[in-house]
């Protein structure tokens, strides 16, 4: 599916079902811009995970409702519910990978 841009109007529908990784970013945030290609790689490499980008400079009310306190902030949603988040002004790709692996491991697994 690749990376999908979200607005306040489309956000709830985008995170409403399945696993969704939300990347809250801004063009003025250098770590955010540096992470952008990695977020695309995550999207391309995980068929069960949708990656959604929220431009904080264009979606301030949405960021307030999500209680985003700094950038970059990455949130993990499962069936419409936030299950984990990471926020670090010095965030790098390896940290994102480690956090995501840990967050996904905490989720209940579907039984056959």
How open is the CA angle 103-91-66, to the nearest 5 degrees? Answer: 60
Instruction: Sketch out the chain's domains with CATH numbers.
Output: 3-106 (3.40.30.10)
87 is catalytic: no
Inter-CA distances, 57 with 11, 26, 45, 68, Å? 15, 6, 28, 12
Residue pair 89/82 in contact by the 8 Å Cβ criterion: no
Rg (CA), the chain: 13
- 32, 51, 71, 91: which is the annotated catalytic residue? 32
12 phi/psi in degrees, rounded to 5: -60, -40
- 3, 21, 29, 68: which is the annotated catalytic residue? 29
One digit per residue, the tens of pLDDT, for the chain of length 112 reads 689 999 999 999 999 999 999 999 999 999 999 999 999 999 999 999 999 999 999 999 999 999 999 999 999 999 999 999 999 999 999 999 999 999 999 998 765 4
Characterize the bridge pairing of strands 81-87 and 73-78.
Answer: antiparallel
29 is catalytic: yes
């Amino acid at each position: 599916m690749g990376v999908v841009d979200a607005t306040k109007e489309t956000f709830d529908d985008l995170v409403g079902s399945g696993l969704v990784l939300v990347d809250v970013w801004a063009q003025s945030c250098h770590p955010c811009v540096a992470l952008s290609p990695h977020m695309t790689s995550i999207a391309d490499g995980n068929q069960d995970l949708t990656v959604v980008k929220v431009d904080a400079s264009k979606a301030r009310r949405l960021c307030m409702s999500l209680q985003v306190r700094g950038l970059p902030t990455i949130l993990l949603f499962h069936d419409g519910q936030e299950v984990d988040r990471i926020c670090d002004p010095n965030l790098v790709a390896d940290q994102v990978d480690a956090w995501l692996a840990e967050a996904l491991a905490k989720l209940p697994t579907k039984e056959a």
